[in-house]
Structures are given as structure tokens and as C-alpha cells.
A = this chain, B = another copy of it.
């Protein structure tokens, strides 16, 4: 399969007279894919039942005639005002109890059955009409589930659905009381109908309660999406995708992905750097116009897993955006670099968001490939260059890596429920590990928590996987790979209770975490040989070999055969030391990358990227600022 380019287009925003010229220009730029339709409900059905699909017919026809392929979105992320008037209680309710009103987007609660039926209805209408359209070559459900913190809703609809979900999960109220330890603080319930949503409690609610609500909320998204998928599939054989948002961890992307053919994600490196990477000020200054050197790569690897191998960047930042605290312009070259980073990780397509900057409404300051006055914007010029380069480039490819890193949304729910130290997050722990591996020049496969077949991997890391089912423990105990656990791996049972025997209770590893502590970030605990644990640390009682030690000679990491357990949150130095040592043993070659230089190997190529604002030297030669270097292997 060839690597392709695309863009997101809103024909409803522009006079029909210019559609054809737009389509021609897209094709000339070298684009293949055009995503349309995902916010167009008020133009498709301005009044209840008053359907106006003709313009969309013409738009698709125009694009198709120009040789472009259409990704058609279902318009459910933006129900028109009349839908809300019909179902006034369909809006989500925030944690303070306020309804989240109409006037922007994603103003629906996933649990509201009335809105679910509206969603079914409009999706069916769209699917019936375009299911066999030759130009509609892929589908997208809704848009960015979870964006703007829209997964958790404290509405009446959610409360009702949560009770049903709990009953289905626990069977009896006695079982739930037992599983949650509700004897504590007399929180025992007499029936499922007594259970409220875990907001506005006097002090924190039972973490088992909160975790259950997060799981329920995630499942509501899965169900909502599946209803759309089932309807589309009844009318179309084109692949179905959803465009996930970077570092949205409030629902299980893998489970949504189980119902889709392709995973896509929306990559805004500059906005994310300030908004969600978690980097300090110095790092943010250094990469202000380039984005974090690892954040995109992490998500690329994640969505390759979510998409079971098939994945795209559905929205690629094309210039300054409008929504971050500050919105700088990318360094020249970055729009090309970001595309190549995606291809290096196996992307089938990279679509710039959006074709032409809209001069009105919320995103009027969001750049496009064209300026509002229709002139070429820098993104268009860089996209054209990528299109040229793609002509001779190898096909889509992402060979299996030697190192596997588990990322599990359920673990994130649990950590968020109870981080124990105020800066601690599961995502950050896994991402720190990812960064360390990538700085060693390694390609990494991200695997979901449900993985049981690890064949081909030499190292399997599962930091922070807070609940490890017994069968996974068994698989890991029997694998030939090096297994790196901790901190907090297997620290809870399925209901957020500390297990006895104490964690990790891993077959083949004589080790117990006897006590844990969270620490101020400015009170690191140094390790002998360099580096430190910061923020979180566990006291270990074990029998194996101590492979890392705190400066006060307490054990910091144990190893027994292929099983390694790290009792703390290692800083960059600790992680580098640890994985260098393990790679050496496993026969994996490593590099020592610094600054903004990174690389990834695809079939026959090592693709180097330089996120730095200055040129840099690599073993493969000099690389420009914001540059890409192709090294034949």
C-alpha cells in the first residue's frame, strides 16, 4: 500500500462555485484523501426530517471527479440546536452539576438514549445514501471522542445507565459492597438504585466507585461508536475509522478500535507541547516551534496498535492553531518532518487539517493549507514536497520491534482515580519510559493490556500496569523475553483493592512491595551510579538480585531470571542505565540520542528527524534543523 496525503475539507463553508477549483488544486498538490461531512448536520437536516443531501452528493461527485477519495464522517459530534430542543436533557453535565450547553460542539451525553436514537437515524440516512458511492472510500465515526473533557457526564441519563452497568457487572449489591469495601465509612448500599455518580462528595469517593464510573463511561463510548459502525457496515464495505485525540485517556481506544478497520489520530505538535506533553518550561522553549520530539512518535505507535496495524494521521497541524495558551508558527520544514515521522511509524495517510483557513467562528485563527484569501499557506508548499518524495518512497510498513511497551487505558483510569502523589500519572510514566527507549534509538511496539502473545519481543515493559490479571502474569512468567515491571505494576486487583499477598505477587519473582511513598518532585532519591527516583518510590522485600540500589543502600530494583522489578519512578538517567543494560543482554543495538534528534527504522530505511532548531550530526550524517534524513540500511 502506498503512503498517501490528504486534507479535511468543508464544502458547506464555501460557495459551490469554488469547489471544483479546490478539488483540482488538491489533486495537483498530490493529495489523495479528503475528509468531509463530520460537522455538517445542520446543512444535511436543517429542520427535523427536512433532508438536504443534494449538496453533499455534488461535493462528493466534484471531489471524486478530480480523482480524490472521500472519507465521509458521521455528523454526530455537532447535533444542531433543534436536536437539543427536542431532547433538552441530552447534554452532558459537568462534575459541578452544570449542564454543558449548546453553542460549540460535543454537547451530548453518551448515555442519553434519545440522542443515541437521533445518532442512529442520521447515521443510517448517511450510510444508506453513500454506502455504495464509489468515491466514499472510507468512513469516520463522529469526531474526536473525549475532546473537551466530554467522556465523563454526571447527568441523570448517566446515573441511570451506570446503575444498569453496575448490576450487570456485579450481579448483586452484596457483591458490589464486598468488592468495593463499602463497609468502610458505612458506604454500603441496599440496592443499585441507591448508587449515585461519584461527584460532589464531601471528600474523595471510594476509588472503586470512581474507577467503576470511569470504566462505565468508557464502555458508553464503545457502545455509542459500535451502533454507528453496525449501521454503516450494513450499507458499505469501505473501512471505518475514528479520529482519536492526543493524550485523551478517558476511554479505552483499543476497545473502540476493535470495532473499526482503521485508527486515526489528530496530531497538533505545537498545541500539545504546551497543553498536554507535561514538559517543563525549558523544554517548551526549546521546542516551541517544533513540538516534543517523542510525543507524536508515541501516539503513532499507540494508534498502530489501536488500528491493528492500519492507522493514519487524520488531522495534521498545518501552521499556528487557535486553541493553545500560545499559538506560534512552526519552524519551516516541520509540516514535512511531521509527515515523515508518521510514515516512519507506518502511517498509511497523513491529512492536513484543514484545506482553507475559515475566517469565521471558533477556529478562525487555525491555519490551513490555504490562507483565508486563497493564497498558498506554508503547509501546502511542504505537503507538495512530501507528495514529490512519496512518489519514490517505499510502501507502508512497520516491522515488528524488539521492544514492547504496554499501554492500558484501564490502568490510566485507576491511576487517575488515585494518583497517590499529586503530579503522578500513568500516561506520564509510560511516556517517560517510551522517551528513554526512543533516545536509545529503538523502535518500540506499544501493546494493549489484553495482549497475551508476545512472540518476537526481546524486552517487554509494563510500568504502572496497576492490575495484572492472573493469565497475563502466567504468560509473562513463561516468556523468554526480559520483563520489566514496576513501579505500581500489579498493585491492585480488578476492583481497586490492594491484593494479599502483597504486590506484585508474580510467579517466579520472590518480591513484595512492602510500603510505598509519594514524594515532592524536588526531593529525588538518588541511586548509586547516577540518576534518581522522583515522585514515587516503593520499599521492596525480595530474594532476587539487586540490580539498582538507592544511595542509602536500599534496593531499588530486583531481578530474578528474566523478571525485573523497578521500585520507583526512574528519571531519565535511571531509565537509560536500566534499558541500556537490558538491551545489551538481549542483543539489541542502541544509540545515544540527545537534543531533538531521533530516528526510526522501517523496512530498509532508518529515517532520521531533527526536532532541534539547529543542525545536528548523526551517525548517518548532518541533519538540518527541522530536517529529515533517509539512511539506507
Partner-B contacts on A (CB < 8 A):
10, 12-13, 39-43, 46-47, 75, 78-82, 85, 92, 96-107, 147-148, 150, 180-190, 194, 196, 198-209, 274, 281, 284-285, 288, 319-320, 322, 325-329, 357-365, 367, 371-375, 377-378, 418, 420-422, 496-502, 512, 514-520, 522-523, 535, 539
Whether B361 contacts A180 by the Cβ 8 Å rule is yes
A327/B518 contact (C-beta < 8 A), A98-B97, A184-B39, A202-B106 known: yes
State the Cβ distance, A330 to closest chain B Cβ, in Å: 9
Whether B203 contacts A105 by the Cβ 8 Å rule is yes
Whether B520 contacts A189 by the Cβ 8 Å rule is no
Besides the contacts A184-B362, A359-B497, A373-B502, what 13 more A-B pairs have beta carbons closer than 8 Å?
A12-B183, A39-B186, A42-B187, A98-B200, A104-B206, A105-B202, A107-B202, A150-B202, A181-B360, A325-B421, A327-B518, A364-B418, A365-B418
Whether B539 contacts A107 by the Cβ 8 Å rule is no
Whether A360 contacts B184 by the Cβ 8 Å rule is yes
Out of B10, B79, B329, B519, name the residue touching A328 (CB < 8 Å).
Answer: B519
Q: A40, A194, A361: which has the most chain B beta carbons within 10 Å?
A: A361
Complex Cα distance, B281 from A261, in Å, reads 52
Whether A182 contacts B326 by the Cβ 8 Å rule is no
Give the nearest-CB partner of A108 in chain B. Answer: B202
Q: A39, A200, A205, A325: which has the most chain B beta carbons within 10 Å?
A: A200
Whether B361 contacts A326 by the Cβ 8 Å rule is no
Whether A361 contacts B206 by the Cβ 8 Å rule is yes
Q: A81, A190, A320, A371: which has the most chain B beta carbons within 10 Å?
A: A81
Complex Cα distance, B377 from A512, in Å, reads 14
Whether B42 contacts A183 by the Cβ 8 Å rule is yes
State the Cβ distance, A59 to closest chain B Cβ, in Å: 13
Whether B420 contacts A523 by the Cβ 8 Å rule is no
Give the nearest-CB partner of A200 in chain B. Answer: B101
State the Cβ distance, A370 to closest chain B Cβ, in Å: 11
Whether B498 contacts A205 by the Cβ 8 Å rule is no
Complex Cα distance, B518 from A329, in Å, reads 8
Complex Cα distance, B525 from A328, in Å, reads 12
Whether B188 contacts A81 by the Cβ 8 Å rule is yes
What are the 5 closest A-B residue pairs judged by CB atoms, nearest first?
A181-B360, A184-B361, A42-B186, A359-B498, A103-B201
Whether B205 contacts A103 by the Cβ 8 Å rule is yes
Complex Cα distance, B604 from A401, in Å, reads 73
Give the nearest-CB partner of A377 in chain B. Answer: B515
Complex Cα distance, B205 from A515, in Å, reads 48
> Can you identify 10 A-B contacts, CB atoms within 8 angstroms?
A42-B183, A43-B188, A80-B188, A81-B187, A101-B199, A104-B206, A147-B203, A325-B421, A326-B421, A357-B498
Residues of B within 8 Å of A189, CB to CB, are: 81
Complex Cα distance, B194 from A81, in Å, reads 7
Complex Cα distance, B102 from A376, in Å, reads 57
Out of B82, B328, B357, B497, name the residue touching A518 (CB < 8 Å).
Answer: B328
Whether B104 contacts A203 by the Cβ 8 Å rule is yes
Complex Cα distance, B186 from A40, in Å, reads 6
Out of B12, B82, B200, B284, name the residue touching A190 (CB < 8 Å).
Answer: B82
State the Cβ distance, A324 to closest chain B Cβ, in Å: 9
Whether B181 contacts A361 by the Cβ 8 Å rule is yes
Out of B43, B359, B362, name the residue touching A183 (CB < 8 Å).
Answer: B43
Whether B103 contacts A284 by the Cβ 8 Å rule is no
Whether B201 contacts A101 by the Cβ 8 Å rule is yes
State the Cβ distance, A274 to closest chain B Cβ, in Å: 8
State the Cβ distance, A301 to closest chain B Cβ, in Å: 28
Complex Cα distance, B183 from A230, in Å, reads 29
Whether A43 contacts B187 by the Cβ 8 Å rule is no
Whether A372 contacts B150 by the Cβ 8 Å rule is no
Whether B517 contacts A320 by the Cβ 8 Å rule is yes
Residues of B within 8 Å of A516, CB to CB, are: 320, 365
State the Cβ distance, A71 to closest chain B Cβ, in Å: 18
Q: A101, A319, A418: which has the most chain B beta carbons within 10 Å?
A: A101
Whether B361 contacts A285 by the Cβ 8 Å rule is no
Give the nearest-CB partner of A536 in chain B. Answer: B326
Complex Cα distance, B563 from A344, in Å, reads 50
Complex Cα distance, B364 from A174, in Å, reads 20
Complex Cα distance, B93 from A98, in Å, reads 14
Complex Cα distance, B363 from A539, in Å, reads 19
Complex Cα distance, B319 from A194, in Å, reads 35
Complex Cα distance, B535 from A40, in Å, reads 35
Residues of B within 8 Å of A274, CB to CB, are: 520
Complex Cα distance, B4 from A539, in Å, reads 31
Residues of B within 8 Å of A98, CB to CB, are: 96-97, 200
Whether B422 contacts A326 by the Cβ 8 Å rule is yes
Complex Cα distance, B378 from A367, in Å, reads 58
Complex Cα distance, B543 from A382, in Å, reads 25
Out of B79, B81, B372, name the residue touching A502 (CB < 8 Å).
Answer: B372
Residues of B within 8 Å of A207, CB to CB, are: 361-362, 364
Residues of B within 8 Å of A107, CB to CB, are: 201-202
Complex Cα distance, B325 from A132, in Å, reads 57
Whether A43 contacts B186 by the Cβ 8 Å rule is yes
Complex Cα distance, B365 from A496, in Å, reads 11
Give the nearest-CB partner of A193 in chain B. Answer: B85
Out of B148, B498, B522, name the residue touching A285 (CB < 8 Å).
Answer: B522
Whether A104 contacts B201 by the Cβ 8 Å rule is yes
Complex Cα distance, B206 from A3, in Å, reads 36
Out of B79, B515, B523, name the residue touching A319 (CB < 8 Å).
Answer: B515
Whether A515 contacts B186 by the Cβ 8 Å rule is no
Complex Cα distance, B373 from A281, in Å, reads 43
